[in-house]
Amino acid sequence: MGEMPGWLDKLRKPNLSRVAKEPLRGAPAMHRLKTYAALSGYVYEYFFEGHRDVRGGREFVFSVTGDRKSWFAFAVHLAGDATADWERERARVLGDRERYAIAKLALFSAFDERPNPAELGTSVEVATGMARALLEKLDL
């Protein structure tokens, strides 16, 4: 038996790098550059790129710099069930702006807790405990 034709091999092994993520939505028409002075001593600049629904939740993407030279994308993933208990206790569903506020506070927490911009290489996963703490800060 000979080798499998190249086109048949491609059908059996999908190229996952070609699978595109859902495009970002919800970004303002013009980016608003904002500044945050972190507890780490760094002053970060950032702007909101948009959000997408992924992995049973919502991913908020920000462009960030800690030195005004190198920019990188930083994602905050708000798990779909992270706010379920809070919503059930208050008999109301959080709106998009409130979910964005949770993501922004999670971004600030990453700025404060990570010692330098190089440590921002991994995204933040907001699960139930973190969501509850951030919602308390929002005082909704």
Q: Which of 78, 69, 80, 63 is nearest to 120 (CA)?
A: 63
Number of domains in the chain: 1
Whether 13 is in a domain gets the answer no
Q: Evaluate if residue 137 carries a pLDDT over 60.
A: yes
Whether 103 is in a domain gets the answer yes
Whether 12 is in a domain gets the answer no
Whether 47 is in a domain gets the answer yes
Q: Evaluate if residue 22 carries a pLDDT over 70.
A: yes
Whether 17 is in a domain gets the answer no
Q: Which range marks the domain in which residue 49 is found?
A: 24-138
Q: Evaluate if residue 139 carries a pLDDT over 70.
A: yes
Segment 13-19 mean pLDDT = 41
**CA pair distance 98, 79, nearest whole angstrom:** 14
For residues 80 and 5, the model is more confident at 80
Q: Evaluate if residue 12 carries a pLDDT over 70.
A: no
Query: What digits encode the pLDDT tens for the residues 39-48?
Result: 999 999 999 9
Segment 34-41 mean pLDDT = 95
Q: State residue 76 phi and psi, 5-degree precision.
A: -120, 120
Whether 6 is in a domain gets the answer no
**Quick one: residue 121, left, alpha or beta (phi over 0 = left, psi -120 to 50 = alpha)?**
alpha
Whether 10 is in a domain gets the answer no
Whether 9 is in a domain gets the answer no
Q: How confident is the model at residue 140, as a pLDDT?
A: 78
**CA pair distance 98, 83, nearest whole angstrom:** 11
Q: Dihedral sign for Cα 84, 86, 90, 95, please.
A: negative
For residues 68 and 17, the model is more confident at 68
Query: What digits encode the pLDDT tens for the residues 51-97?
Result: 999 878 999 999 999 999 999 999 999 998 899 888 999 999 999 99
